[in-house]
């Protein structure tokens, strides 16, 4: 019986694919690789690797401890490499931090005011809910890679020309 | 001269024949033949029965999906959201330019009822149109023998926020019939560690997405695992060939979670080749709104399909309000 080997990528071991153009523009495919992007990113820089109108997927290099963040809507993160801890605080006044009119991740100024909700430790391939109304912060003892599902916001970094095939 | 008989037989090799508007559908031991009216005769088209049934299964499971479901380079459906267009040759410039294309629009419930009947009658015992060929073998072929209603009654998992939350779609495990697929036996099944303070037990949530995907019992069948307003993460596991050539009516994005997929990209309106895109683990790429794509996965792989479910987006593309490409740089 065939023994299958599932190949995941990592920060230290990834093999980027390619585009073979027949009659097209490679820029239209906005092709990048999350591990390559994380390799060239600052810790917790939220680099957009996909954008669909207002929505984004951000690649994040998790290293050390992030600042506190929140959003007026649910967000989600998936660990692509390494291990990431998330702490959560239920905000006493979430609208003051991330009003409904404001989309995307916002930075929480200072320590979040509210009750501690607990923590989640994520390993490879694990996905967590970053719930609306909660502040959260990440920490990683080593260097890890995540993707985050969110909406284009003040913290989103767009540098398509640097990260994509052209 | 009309080479196609005006009346088709009621059954062939034990399989029922079907009509929908101007289209006829007939299957035999190996093939499906579709005909439609053109000029003073009928145009015919033949597909392998297994390929036709795999494509039809996706139309049933996805409710005709987003945009165009090309069964191959000639026949397919286009979702008009409430109605559905069936076409022969419309998106093939040679058929269309020579007056051999045909389009007919049906109310979605009527069309769905008929294609479910076709699927129920034409899928033999042992043939699972959601499975990879190495899993389901050659049971699709031969004279009619039995059926596989259990396999074709699967539906697309509807998740409101995230699987595993109270009242939301379930996680997958041995206990609810989701065994680890043979191709993902090496995928770790560990779980996140959740430490909730008293009173917040139901609010913190995480799961092992890759383990969840390793237990998918279908191929090429996206199901939602996270919802951020209209932003839908729809990961899926892929093996062999995407049974349809998907013509986009909006920008779609792919993030390759594991292994690799080669995509053939063609122009949505003409079928002309435009590019080939090889995606490996960690790669991200857009599928523009004016292309059609078909994937080839030599080993079962994990792919994140990312959709924007905004119902107004089709008109925005059609009117030119937004370009077919998601980013300019």
**A94 vs B193: CA distance, rounded Å:** 26
Whole-number Å distance between alpha carbons of B212 and B189: 9
Q: In terms of residue numbers, what domain contains A115?
A: 26-163
Can you tell me the distance from the alpha carbon of B317 to that of B315, in angstroms, rounded to the nearest whole number?
5
Contact flag A128-B192 (C-beta cutoff 8 Å): yes
Smallest Cβ–Cβ distance between A29 and the set B231, B260, B277 belongs to B277
Domain encompassing residue B233: 157-217+219-318
- What percent of chain B has a predicted confidence (pLDDT) above 70? 97
- The CA–CA distances, whole Å, from A141 to A121, A138, B64, B230, B272 equal 12, 10, 46, 34, 50
Report yes or no on B1 lying in a domain. Answer: no
Over 60: is that where the pLDDT of B186 sits? yes
Q: Classify residue A77: in a domain, yes or no.
A: yes
Digit-coded pLDDT (tens) for B237-247: 999 999 999 99
- Average pLDDT over every residue of B188-199: 98
* Crossing angle between the packed helical segments B49-62 and B108-122, to the nearest 10 degrees: 140
Report how far residue B237's alpha carbon sits from residue B299's, in angstroms, rounded to the nearest whole number. Answer: 10
Cβ of residue A155 closer than 8 Å to a chain B Cβ? no
Q: Which residues of chain A have pLDDT under 50?
A: none
Please tell me the predicted confidence (pLDDT) of residue A59: 98
How many contacts, defined by CB atoms under 8 Å, are there between A and B? Answer: 237
Q: Is a pLDDT exceeding 50 seen at residue B198?
A: yes
**CB nearest to A15's CB, from B225, B280, B287:** B280
Task: Determine whether the interchain pair A4/B273 forms a contact, defined as Cβ–Cβ distance below 8 Å.
Answer: no
Work out how many domains chain B is built from and give that number: 2
Report the pLDDT averaged over residues B263-285: 97
pLDDT of residue B218: 93
Cβ A52–B253 below 8 Å, yes or no? Answer: yes
Q: Do B237 and B127 fall within a single domain?
A: no
Per-residue pLDDT, averaged over B252-270, amounts to 97
Judge: A20–B260 Cβ closer than 8 Å, yes or no: no
**How confident is the model over B284-301, as a mean pLDDT?**
98
- At B155 the pLDDT is 62
B73-106 tens-digit pLDDT: 999 999 999 999 999 999 999 999 999 999 999 9
Nearest to B194 by CA among A94, A88, A139: A88
CB neighbours (10 Å) of residue B275? 20
CATH number of domain containing A101: 2.60.120.10
B123 and B183 both lie in a single domain: no
Give residue B134's pLDDT: 93
Say if A10 falls within a structural domain: no
Q: Is B16 on the interface with A (CB under 8 A)?
A: no
Q: Report yes or no on B66 lying in a domain.
A: yes
Residues 115-144 of A with CB under 8 A from B: 115-129, 131, 134
At B8 the pLDDT is 82
Whole-angstrom Cα Rg for chain B: 21
What are the pLDDT digits (tens) for B127-169? 999 999 999 999 999 999 999 998 888 766 789 999 999 999 9
Counting the structural domains of chain A, the total is: 1
Nearest CB neighbour to A57, from listed B200, B306, B325: B306
Task: Mark whether B119 and B176 lie in a shared domain.
Answer: no
Give me chain B's average pLDDT, please: 95
Instruction: With a cut of 70, say whether residue B222 has pLDDT above it.
Output: yes
Rounded mean pLDDT of B298-316? 96
Amino acid B6: pLDDT: 57
Q: Give the largest Cα separation in chain A, rounded.
A: 59
Q: What's the distance, Cα to Cα, between the start and end of chain A in Å?
A: 42
Residue B4 has pLDDT above 80, yes or no: no
Q: Which of B150, B173, B192 is the last residue of a domain?
A: B150
Give the residue from B150, B180, B200 where a domain finishes.
B150
């Amino acid at each position: 019986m065939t023994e299958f080997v599932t190949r995941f990528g990592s920060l230290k071991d990834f093999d980027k694919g390619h585009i073979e153009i027949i009659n097209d523009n490679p820029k239209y495919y906005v092709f990048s690789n999350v591990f390559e992007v994380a390799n060239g990113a600052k810790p917790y820089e939220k680099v957009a690797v996909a954008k669909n109108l207002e929505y984004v997927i951000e690649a994040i290099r998790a290293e050390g401890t992030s600042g506190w963040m929140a959003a007026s809507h649910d967000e989600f993160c998936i660990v692509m490499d390494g291990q990431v801890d998330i702490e959560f605080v239920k905000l006493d006044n979430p609208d003051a931090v991330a009003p409904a009119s404001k989309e995307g991740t916002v930075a929480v100024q200072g320590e979040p005011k509210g009750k501690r909700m607990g923590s989640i430790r994520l390993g490879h391939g694990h996905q967590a809910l970053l719930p609306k109304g909660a502040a959260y912060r990440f920490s990683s003892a080593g260097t890890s890679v995540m993707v985050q599902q969110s909406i284009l916001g003040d913290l989103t970094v767009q540098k398509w020309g640097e990260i994509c095939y052209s | 001269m009309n080479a196609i008989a005006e009346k088709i037989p009621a059954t062939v090799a034990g399989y029922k024949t079907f009509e929908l508007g101007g289209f006829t559908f007939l299957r035999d031991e190996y093939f499906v033949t579709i005909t439609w009216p053109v000029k003073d005769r009928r145009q015919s088209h033949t597909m392998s029965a297994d390929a036709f049934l795999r494509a039809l299964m996706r139309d049933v499971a996805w409710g005709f999906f987003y945009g165009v479901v090309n069964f191959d380079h000639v026949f397919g459906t286009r979702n008009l959201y409430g109605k559905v267009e069936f076409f022969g040759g419309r998106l093939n410039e040679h058929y269309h330019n020579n007056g051999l294309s045909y389009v007919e629009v049906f109310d979605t419930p009527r069309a769905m009822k008929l294609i479910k009947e076709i699927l129920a009658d034409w899928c033999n015992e042992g043939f699972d149109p959601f499975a990879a060929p190495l899993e389901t073998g050659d049971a699709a072929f031969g004279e009619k023998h039995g059926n596989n209603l259990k396999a074709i009654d699967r539906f697309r998992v509807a998740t409101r926020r995230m699987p595993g939350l109270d009242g939301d779609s379930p996680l997958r495990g041995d206990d609810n019939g989701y065994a680890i697929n043979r191709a993902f036996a090496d995928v770790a099944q560990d779980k996140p560690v959740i430490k909730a303070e008293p009173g917040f037990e139901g609010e913190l949530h995480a799961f092992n997405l890759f383990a969840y995907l390793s237990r998918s019992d279908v191929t090429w069948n996206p199901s939602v695992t996270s919802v951020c307003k209209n932003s839908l993460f729809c990961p899926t596991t892929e093996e062999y060939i995407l049974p349809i050539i998907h013509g986009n009516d909006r920008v779609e994005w792919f993030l390759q979670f594991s292994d690799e997929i080669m995509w053939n990209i063609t122009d949505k309106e003409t079928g002309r080749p435009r590019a080939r895109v090889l995606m490996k683990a960690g790669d991200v790429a857009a599928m523009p709104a004016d292309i059609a794509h078909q994937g080839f996965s030599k080993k079962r792989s994990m792919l994140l399909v990312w959709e924007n479910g905004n119902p107004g987006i089709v008109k925005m593309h059609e009117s030119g309000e937004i370009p077919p490409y998601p980013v300019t740089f």
